[in-house]
Amino acid sequence: LRDTFDKILYIDIDLHHCDSIQEAYYNSNNVFVVSIHHKDIDFFPQNTGDKNKLGEKQGTFYNLNIPIHKNLKLTDDAFINILSKIIHRLNYYFQPECIVVCAGCDGLQSDPFKKWNLSINGITRAINMIITEMDKPTIILGGGGYNPYDTAKCWTSILANVCNINIDNDIPYHENYSKFKPHYQLNKMKMKLEDDDDVGVGINHNHFLVQSPQHQHQINMLDRKKQQKLNIHAMQMIYGHLNNFERLFVEKVLKSNRNKHKNGYHQHSHHQIRQQQSNGTNTVKKNNMEIKDEDEEENEDEDDDIDIADKHINDKSDNTDCDQENNNDSNNKVENDRNEDNDKEQNNENDEPKTEKSASLSSMNSNITAKKRQMTTTVTTKSRRKRRKLQ
């Protein structure tokens, strides 16, 4: 079952305490053990099944013992009432995924121990309540029962009820039919065992023959009102124990849930802080990358502007050089032409006066000088603009 289910509820309604089951899961919080059993000093098993045995380590408050005092003759209504309170609380707080029930029949009124006054219908109703209230996968196991005929009747009634099978209350005829006298009905118990064959195997017969009269004599010694007071007091002790156990169990569950919530909150906070830090780092990196990209784009734009300016300046300087060369060529041509004219004029025996020739030459030289100054000023202005753009 542990391989399939995480939370298992074990309910033992046998007259004896389930000491082995308690020991096996005493430290576990996955198996909740409930035992309703008779408690007396000399009753088997001894020194176990006390109500203060609540589990240890992780299994603390996952072990619930309901010891029934020896003076309490547990009846059907009281038994179902106790079991109902346990079932409702565990179904809410523990929320089991699977249920295992030990359906002992030694609490029947007809059992040789004669400790409880349960009936076949009472135990059947209790098992039916567990299945219907919990509504979980359930395994029903047999248990104690030392009146073999009434034990067989009780288990038959439980099985028919669980499987939703309608069976006749009259016991059909078979080879052991005579063993069920005087009542040959399923819901009626055989209150007295007449011979040794009627007692279960492995039981000390003389022990039961001695115990039953003694116990019956003790009950007869008690007054009816006194017995009723004892029953009320015993039931109050059981209810008080259940309420105290519920309080302790709820405190542990709430504490455990708070610790889980606290740890989960811290883990979430650390995770959120780390995420925010990582987001902030990514944002800073992203911003740095954007700034770097913008700087690179600006540098590229500036480089492009500088390249364009250099190209423009170079083009202008080239054009200026070409203009200067053209001007020089033109000046040289003019001078050559003038020289030729002068030569012609001299060859023509100085047709014009020398004063007029010198004036024309000086005016031409002044024009050439003005053009050179203008070109120099243009080149200087362009170089200044280039330096400003570079800065």
238-248, pLDDT tens digit by residue?
888 888 888 88
Task: Judge whether residue 66 has pLDDT over 90.
Answer: yes
Task: Judge whether residue 258 has pLDDT over 90.
Answer: no
pLDDT above 70 as % of the chain: 58
Between 165 and 323, the more confident residue is 165
Residue 107: strand, helix, or coil: coil
Mean pLDDT of 62-69: 93
Dig out the tokens for 153 from the structure: 């009747």
Please state at what angle helix 120-134 crosses helix 76-93, rounded to 10 degrees: 10
> pTM, whole model, 2 decimals?
0.61
Output the average pLDDT for the chain.
75
Between 209 and 234, the more confident residue is 234
Between 81 and 371, the more confident residue is 81
pLDDT for residue 253: 77
On whether the CB atoms of residues 157 and 121 are closer than 8 A, the answer is: yes
Phi, psi of 359 (to 5 degrees): -65, -40
Burial of 193 (0-12, 13-18, 19+ CB in 10 A): buried
Mean pLDDT of 208-237: 67
pLDDT for residue 197: 44
Max mean pLDDT range (49-53, 101-105, 171-175, 239-243):
101-105
pLDDT tier for residue 300 given thresholds of 50, 70 and 90: low
Question: Where do the H-state alpha helices sit in the chain?
Answer: 19-24, 76-93, 120-134, 148-162, 205-221, 224-347, 354-390
pLDDT for residue 313: 46
Distance between CA atoms of residues 64 and 31, nearest Å: 11
pLDDT for residue 209: 39
Mean pLDDT of 331-351: 54
pLDDT tier for residue 113 given thresholds of 50, 70 and 90: very high
Segment 118-153, tens digit of pLDDT = 999 999 999 999 999 999 999 999 999 999 999 999
pLDDT tier for residue 87 given thresholds of 50, 70 and 90: very high
Between 234 and 380, the more confident residue is 234
On whether the CB atoms of residues 150 and 101 are closer than 8 A, the answer is: no
Max mean pLDDT range (140-149, 200-209, 297-306, 339-348):
140-149
